[in-house]
Amino acid sequence: MPFRRASFDTPPKLTLTIGGKPVILEQGKDAALRPSVTEKVRRHNVGLVFVGYGLKDARYRFDDYRGLDVRGKIAVALSGTPDGLPTEIDAHLAGSKDRMAAEAGAIGFIEIPRKAGSGRSDPMRRAGRPLIDWVDSSGHAGSVPAGLALQLGLSEEIAARLFEGAPRSLASVRSDARDDAKSGPRGFALRPTLAIEAENKWEDFTSPEVIGLLRGSDPALAAEHVVLMGHLDHLGMKADAKPGEDAIYNGALDNAAGVATMLEAARLFAAQPVRPKRSVLFIANTGEERGLLGADYYANHPTVPAQSIVGLVDLDMPLLLYPFTDVTAFGADHSTVGAIVAQAGASMGISVSPDPMPQEAIFTRSDHYMFVRRGVPAVLLMTGHANGGKEIWNSWLGTIYHSPKDDLTQKIDWDAGARYALLNYRIAKAMADAPVRPMWLQGDYFGDLFDPKGPRAPANPARQP
């Protein structure tokens, strides 16, 4: 797949005009303009509009752009969402604000932390780094919504100055965005304008997605595809390693274990005397750690008709370090895949547990989510918290996750690996052989949003989040 790395040879020129006076912004100190993979040279002089939380959603009746004209301007939003949303929907909405801004006609997006000095990561640091993204032959990129030319972060001081001459100050609108507030502040036009001159350096390269196909045996259903996938990339080499220090991010459990699971499931599929009814695609994704890029590219440029992909099993970071007795099935509650997982688990004495860390919103943070966004019911199994799993997860996430220590010196429980592979195989096989394709449950938020016209299964109210 085609990638592009964008960075700045010379720092971009950013000038904010406040009350008729120019204020030069220093890239990396006052502001951090994100490099662009879609526009080589950018010259803009634009107005800005505060848009509250910057949310638009029919189900929850968020319409922060109502009455505001952001066309050709920069939308300025507070980070966060109103209180009381299910965590997966919260994470989905919080991660979709740039798209919502672009859909409202904005050409730029700035997010200001909801509380002074807060935010998941420093927007200055994040926005200024080189940007790696996929760019296809028609110039579309993965993480850049069409039409959104400018994405930037601002220092706390400059963020506050954007509100000079406005009906309310930044501190005042922040007071409406308390943790327990059910809605955010209303938006309004801002007085300053921002002039930007920026030229990018681009480096293009490719990275392989590795795809296998097992054709189904049923004359009608073979045209449909079930996907089993895991990401084959990890973090590469540690840039700031000391001499003698292990600098290789091996990624044994994240995610060689997932790819090995996929290969073993593929071997099992191929070893059966009768092939599954539906076709099965095996995909080893690249670029997951860079923002689910390989999965996103494939979901946008599938090698089979997009509509023929009917269900998906994602294999990412199984902790194969203990004899797990339960799993958590991210995504299962949204579709009939939940019943398939429960049945496959029961056949092996493995129970399905509720999400032990809903605040992490794992459902929106791995490759399968890029297919969910194209309307495909999907699931990711996490080895569970029972039978000592909780302590192992906590210590692993604290000391090994995304470090060079995720290597083969860990005590891999190979029997657990075999059971994890068999379980995922049975889930994929049930999807591939069932008379009907996996279906979103009636009224499910993600189904209604991403596959509004698709078939539905009756929802069991007890399982609806």
- Which of these segments, 17-25, 201-209, 308-316, 368-376, binds Zn ion (CB under 5 A)? 308-316
Query: What does the chain come to in residues?
Result: 465
Kindly tell me which of 141 and 295 has the beta carbon lying closer to Zn ion: 295
Kindly tell me which of 30 and 254 has the beta carbon lying closer to Zn ion: 254
Kindly tell me which of 98 and 316 has the beta carbon lying closer to Zn ion: 316
Contacting residues for 335 by C-beta, under 8 A, at least 6 apart: 377, 438, 439, 440, 441, 444, 447, 457
Determine if 336 is a binding residue for Zn ion (CB under 5 A).
Answer: no
Kindly tell me which of 91 and 221 has the beta carbon lying closer to Zn ion: 91
- Which of these segments, 196-204, 263-271, 310-318, 347-355, binds Zn ion (CB under 5 A)? 310-318
Q: Pick from 90, 133, 316, 367: which binds Zn ion (CB under 5 A)? A: 316
Tell me how far, at minimum, the Cβ of 43 lies from Zn ion, in Å: 39
Q: Site residues for Zn ion, window 397-426 (CB under 5 A)? A: none
**Secondary structure (DSSP) of 212-264:** EEE--SSTTGGGSEEEEEEE----EE-TTPPTTS--EE--IIIIIHHHHHHHH
DSSP, res 438: -
Residue 118 CA, distance from chain mean position = 21
Kindly report the three-state secondary structure assignment for every residue of 116-179.
CCCCCCCHHHHHHCCEEEEECCCCCECCCCCCCCEEEEECHHHHHHCCCCCCCCHHHHHHCCCC
Kindly tell me which of 253 and 266 has the beta carbon lying closer to Zn ion: 253
Kindly tell me which of 316 and 326 has the beta carbon lying closer to Zn ion: 316
The structure tokens listed for 308 are: 């023929």
Kindly tell me which of 224 and 254 has the beta carbon lying closer to Zn ion: 254
Kindly tell me which of 79 and 285 has the beta carbon lying closer to Zn ion: 285
Kindly tell me which of 317 and 350 has the beta carbon lying closer to Zn ion: 317
Q: At what angle do helices 414-433 and 257-271 cross, to 10 degrees?
A: 50
Contacting residues for 236 by C-beta, under 8 A, at least 6 apart: 249
| Number of residues near Zn ion (by CB under 5 A) | 4
Tell me how far, at minimum, the Cβ of 426 lies from Zn ion, in Å: 22
Tell me how far, at minimum, the Cβ of 327 lies from Zn ion, in Å: 17
- Which of these segments, 198-206, 266-274, 315-323, 376-384, binds Zn ion (CB under 5 A)? 315-323
Tell me how far, at minimum, the Cβ of 402 lies from Zn ion, in Å: 9
Q: Report how far apart, in Å, the C-alpha atoms of 420 and of each of 269, 270, 413 are.
A: 15, 18, 11
Kindly tell me which of 91 and 198 has the beta carbon lying closer to Zn ion: 91
Determine if 79 is a binding residue for Zn ion (CB under 5 A).
Answer: no
Q: Site residues for Zn ion, window 203-262 (CB under 5 A)? A: 254-255
Q: Are 441 and 459 in contact (CB under 8 A)?
A: yes
Q: Are 76 and 50 in contact (CB under 8 A)?
A: yes
Determine if 317 is a binding residue for Zn ion (CB under 5 A).
Answer: yes
Tell me how far, at minimum, the Cβ of 366 lies from Zn ion, in Å: 7
DSSP, res 370: H
Tell me how far, at minimum, the Cβ of 442 lies from Zn ion, in Å: 32
Closest CA to 249 of 419, 74, 78, 400: 400
Tell me how far, at minimum, the Cβ of 322 lies from Zn ion, in Å: 19
Q: Site residues for Zn ion, window 253-292 (CB under 5 A)? A: 254-255
Alpha helices in 35-139 (DSSP H): 87-94, 97-103, 123-128
Tell me how far, at minimum, the Cβ of 215 lies from Zn ion, in Å: 29
The structure tokens listed for 129 are: 């780094």
Kindly tell me which of 314 and 451 has the beta carbon lying closer to Zn ion: 314
Q: Are 31 and 25 in contact (CB under 8 A)?
A: yes
- E-assigned strand segments in 9-66: 13-18, 21-25, 31-33, 41-50, 56-57, 62-63
Contacting residues for 346 by C-beta, under 8 A, at least 6 apart: none
Task: Please report, for the chain, how many H helices and E strands are present, in that order.
Answer: 12, 23
Tell me how far, at minimum, the Cβ of 192 lies from Zn ion, in Å: 41
Tell me how far, at minimum, the Cβ of 387 lies from Zn ion, in Å: 23
Tell me how far, at minimum, the Cβ of 254 lies from Zn ion, in Å: 4
- The site for Zn ion (CB under 5 A) is made up of 254-255, 316-317
